[in-house]
Structure 1
Amino acid sequence: MSVKDKIFQYIVHHYEKKEITAYDVAAHFSMSRNTASSHLNQLVKEGKINKDNTRPTHFFLRTVNENDDQKADTFSSFIGYQLSIRNEIKKCKAAVNYPNGLPVLIKGNSGVGKSYLASLIYRYAVDHSVIDDHAPFIVLNCADYANNVELLSSVLFGYQKGAFTGAQETTLGLIDEADGGYLFLDEVHNLSAENQEKLFILIDQHKFRRLGDKKNWQHVNVRLIMATTEDIESTLLSTFRRRIPLEINLPDYDKRSYMERFNIAAFFYNEQAKIVQHDIYVDKKYFATVMSTRYDGNIGELKNRIKVQIAENLSTASDNKIVLTKTGAYNRLASFEVASMYRFIWNNESKRQNFIGYPDKHATAAMQIDQIFDFKSLINRLPRLIEDIENELSSALASHHGLNIADLIPELTDMLRKMSKVGKHYGLTFNDKEINEIGLLIYIYGINPLFMSRTFTVLEKDLMIYFRSFTISTTMLKACSGQNCPSMRSCLAATLTAYVQLHSHFSSNVLAIIVMHGENNATSLAYTANEMIGDYIYQGFDMPINVGVKEIIQRVNEYVRSIDTSHGLLLLVDMGSLEEMYEKIIQNVNGDLLIVNNVSTAMVLNYGLKLHQGVPLMELIESEMADFVPHKQYYAGLSQKKNVLISCISGEGIAVKMKDIVSKYINAHDVEIITMDYRHLIELINRNKPLIFKNTIAILTTSNLDNRILPIINIEEIVNGMSSLNSLSPFLVKNVKDCTNEIIKLFTLEGASERLNFLNPVKVINEVDRVIKGYEKFYNIEFKNFLRINLFLHLSAMIERLLKGEGIDEPLTPFIRNHKEVFQDFVDFSNLNFKEILSTYNLVIPKAEYATIYQIIAQVVANKS
């Protein structure tokens, strides 16, 4: 057990109901106070204990009681922090946690909560001990000084004595005041270009000069938050914008989800109930109008309108009740009308406000939640929790005929329909009662702060056991994520996973996967089979048409590593190398592995029914499936006959010319001659699979290759007399020397010229020579004779191909895409370098042709370096 964990256990056993300080921990564990403080603050970050802002700091166990207002997350009070604003909150946290912090720019219209979010960023930094507990938070509204640049500069940076008339003494600015904490610049678009430039150095080097001081730098450690309602492209300097790595975008109120608008309006009525100490009753239809109205001032205007509304009706309230309807307020409320009202209750005794959808801390549902510590306890307590929630809501709504959650929130109807459909895809059918209970969970997580603050999730160890239930629940949530469903809330996903686990029965322990190419082929077949069988047997993986075996293996392995495969894995695929897949996947499967090719609907149903009946995988392996599996023979290698492979770095065109020569000396019935793109050859060699080259006699290439699988014949060494074709002698029908001489001649200007069909050799030699020299000069390199001849062969052949309309025009390789800017520079120069040839022959050279030339030259440049 780590020291930190020992400290936590000590607090649990000896300080359950009282506070502890770093001095207490240091004394008990015989360590320095700083070390003790470090461990305690780490426990705070992990959410295990809390601390206050006293001196010395007191630490205490996290408990749920009437006086504990500590939130699970500093940002939890910002409605939507785990929904529509979730990604923006992530950016805020990233800005705080980055060493020395990152500048943040909050964008949004007036009233969306920019200033409030800025204060939460500061609070988060304090809560997580990133800055000191008493670090400053300084606010400056730049709009107040929009018409006085000098005054703004003096307020922001301070000024030196004598800097201007009336500057009687040196005065500190807001940046000095914010040292060690945060400076919030609201309406930052009002900063002049000069003041923006002054902030450059502050952001980059944490230093600045006061107004009137041109010698002395002031050093500070200030974190910046900025906010604006304007388009920053037109109001802020580009050099200033580049120094702000994180931009936070807050949406208008009417762009928020239904649930978020509901929560925002409810929050303000709750707040007013607490302030005026009156119960507030709001007619449901009127409340819907309030939350659905578009406000130019957004959330700020909504808050003010509700405040004015309560103030106007406060004097006429009776029995400490304010009742609001579409037709106005009235002070009498009959008991039968309560069902049509939302109630915001101020409880004078407990000094707490209580909304209809927010059960009291002492309610039975709350007591159930307090007993949920992990996923297993969630499963055990979920039935009672649902019952308690339903009873409390029914009572609050005066519902005597049962609670239909879809009537309470009509938007849930479509969500629940989609969820029910997803359940069927996995062989799971929910009845009306179960659908209503799922809707109840979604509703309560959306409006109840007690639920919203929970952080229990499906842990990795639970995923191995409950992966089927987790897959169903997360797919259900994804299906309705576009319908204002809080699908990103991890604790809701955990709760639905527990619910699915309680209401499903999975007959088969064997995992079965269908992998097919096409947009929805695999998932559609898997869903159809699951529905027909009535069990979650199959998981489908749809693969793009152009994806090969390697990607399929990677996708399957990523999935099976996260689940329990101790009972085996059945993999049905539409195509691919069975041998290669088996070798790569079996390493990640704890049980047996069966892979079957050429999947069909009949095969899927046959296997699925047997798995549903509990048939073990070994029995499936031994069963006869001749009716479903087409017979095929497995082949390995580039060719089923002996072959010679020819590949040249300068392009497949030269390899074809080589093939023409070698073909005259080898018996085509005994040996096949294969030409291959050089990049493809390198890829095959790097796989280090001997089976690929099992019938290959030798590889003829123009480059040095390191390959121990089979002999490499380097053409350059043959031309220079350093190597021979003797390894091919057993397969040649003519003299080896004659074949060698023809190859040597090919790699001379004379031999290359003879292979031009209609171009003037003398003219082309001079034109291409100028192009080659142009590249040498531009890149400050020198081509060796052999490569120079290679280039001549390639470029002259390219010109002829282009004249015949046979140019290469294919997608650029990953290598080229990864060097996009450098390659574009090469293309730009090449167009100039080929200018005379392009003009003479009226040609346009495609980028794909330039890509081949670039790879040759890039290799020479790399070797030079």
Structure 2
Amino acid sequence: MQSTKSEILSYCIKKTINTDMTDIEKLSASVLSNDLNISRSLASQYLNAFVKEGVLIKIAIRPVCFLYKKVIEEKFQVLLKENVFLSIEEFMNTISEQVCIKRNFMKMIGYDSSLSKVIDQVKAALKYPNNGLPILIYGEKGTGKLLLCREMYEYAIDSEILNSNNKFCKIKVFLESENILEQLLGVENERGLFEKCNGGIVFIQHAQNLKLKVQQKIAKIIESGVFQRIKTNKNIEFNARIVLSVDEVYYKKMIYDFIQCFPVVCYIPNFKERSLDEKEELVIHLFKKQSLKLRKHLFVSRTTIKMLLMKDYDYNIDELKNIIENLCAKINAASNSENLYIRAFQLPESILKGYKEDFIAEQVDFVDVTSYKKVDESEKMLELFDSVIDYLKNTNYLTGHKISEIISDITQYCNFLLSNYGDFRYQYKDSSIKYILNKVLISYNVTIPLNCFSLFPSYLYLLNSSNEKVQQWHTDRKNDMILCLKKLEKFSPQSKLIVEKIRFAMKNNLGLEFEEMSKIILLINLIYFNNSVNKNKYLCIIIAHGCSTATSMAETANALIGAHVFEAFDMALGTSCIDMAERLKDFINRYSIKNDIILLVDMGSLERLYEHFQIIDNCNIGIINNVSTRMAIEVGQMALKDLDMQTILKKASNNAIAKYTLVENKILKDLIIFISDNGIKMANRMKKLFVKNLPKEIDINVISLEQKDLLKKELMDNLTKEYNILFISGTCTSSNILKPFVSLEDIIFNIDMIRSKIGKHLTAEELDIFSENLIYSFSLESVVDSLSILDAEKLLNFVKEAVNQMQSQSNKRIYGRTIIGLYIHICCMVERLVTKEPIKNCNNIENFEKKHKNFIDIIKKSFYKICQHYGIEIPTSEISYLYDYINCDDKKED
């Protein structure tokens, strides 16, 4: 049976957990005595004893109230030194001094910086109609993916997206997990997590380990909106909000169709990617948790904190947590004191070994983790801005020296900002802001230091992130900023023009309002770091018809000159001259331009633009027409030399003389013409024969004409202009043929001539094939006329093969007319042998057989297929004739 003392303590614990601070009277001794049915004096005796032991907290009001101390400390994440408080106000003030009560995402370190984009993503996904959008969270192990998901659930409850009946269900997936689908879908009469969550959140941890079939199944469920329990066919509506966490690059482990089901993909930065500010806050937070667990006050040296936040951890915050937990346990075991002091030398070897002795020289100051407060970044920034505004406000006359005094403070703060915060606070917009700044600055050939780039996105982020302090400061000092801005713009109108260009670009591309303080900082940087920005005596503008003609010309001229001299006005077709004059006036008024103006225009109505200049006041305007890039460069260079306008206009006009050069460099396509004095049909036949025997298609036009067409001057002049005539060929008896004429016989037999004409289109090997093909085709036509019973084409193919084999075995090539004659002779010989009419008259057969046995063997081997096919045998008399025919060819060549 529980003792009265234990019963009272259990009652206090339960009541402290379940009672709201606005209803604290329920924790009085009188209520306790009534509920437990004990005397009030006995209850008070035990309660006060617990207060002396440090177990309960006493609030001395009427009636006196008692709270269980450990529950209060855990609930508010504080460590209370006192056990007795005189009022509720004193009690709450003591707590508020140590902690700011936060809900859901605000409890996450980095919620307003490195995690801000992620939090915006998950909020949008949770608020999306019809059960929200599926979410995939990826990042290295130990970065806080589970914590983010738990805070998502708390946020959904607080925002009434979900209610208390909607549950948070979690499942871990290991490599060896086999029953994931059963746990998610349920089996027969047993519900799975998709049902148990009751429309809440199902968190699948380590989803990279999901097997292929599980990924496919979940993808199908998300797309269809229904599922069935395992071993059942009944459809169940899928109304869970599904969240995955992946410990690595998700697309390496998951199929495409599965990934496509998760439109919201969130990346959690690792410890290394966090800003120094966040890292310090994480380290202090983990020490504070140990302080609460150990119920002791922890004091950590600055060096210890610095070494912990400079280390890279393979398992990120989880690894850091284990190191701090082991460190605190070790120091606590060696000390009985209520105050524990943690020094750098007590850190594990894995951290100490990476640093030199001079680095780990112990700093004497310690941080009390219980009373630690995060430094508000905005305070430093607003201090800087106040000093800049006050200095400008109290300065009657600006000079370059005074600007330099301001820039030193700005540069110092920018260096601090860059080294302590990096780009993490605004990384999702910072790159776009830098891109726009760079683009405009480069176009004007001006610059600001890289470290000062960080100030603009940082301030814009704070101004647009519901930071009440920054917004209130901006409201309070708005009039002062406007006054300072006017001073700077008056000092440097050209810098004002550049800043306005940046402002328009920011608004149009990013939707960001570039307010007064950003303009002030930009102007100071531009004025100080670009001495030449205020020296332009003239505003030079190029105006030209077309969508980007003037812009392109101005950009080119500025680049070649090495300074931003020209603005550009592109004039769309249909725009009137009066419209352009109005646009010019708006431009001048917008940027408060007091310079004289030089206009370079192209043609047409723009040449009469001066007729509408009565709407532009207080400046001289010069106009030059027929603008060109060369003219623009010349005018720009003279403008930079501060020549008077009359001189610039006169010189530019005198030098604007057009010159021309005609370069006839047209590449003519090659042409071959075939003609015949026997009519166009014969010319066509020769053309087809030529084209057919080419080994490949070549880039030469081949046409056929009648012979009389060559005498038509207009036709031939046109052909000569359009084509490079390689040669004219065919059969012709006239002597009036245009050169170069090549006879058909030369095409067939003169390989060198052919090579000289079409050699650039064919290789040496292809030219040999072409020559061989022509010889074959010419032979075929002759054979057709000579044979009476045999198929000429079939026989010629056999003969061609036999002759090629004979040439190969005898190592002798036969060319030109001889090979054609040989083809014709052999075809006729075969037909004679088929009809039993061989050559019979042959002298000295026996002598031939003795001297030329090798040649006879070559012929028999080479002509074996012909003999087999036609059932013939070649007699020695025929072989002797072939020998004489071939040798006769050799003698001619000699």
TM-score range, shorter chain: 0.3 to 0.5
Q: Give me the TM-score of the superposition, normalised by structure 1.
A: 0.41
Q: Give me the TM-score of the superposition, normalised by structure 2.
A: 0.40
Larger radius of gyration: 2
Greater share of helix: 2
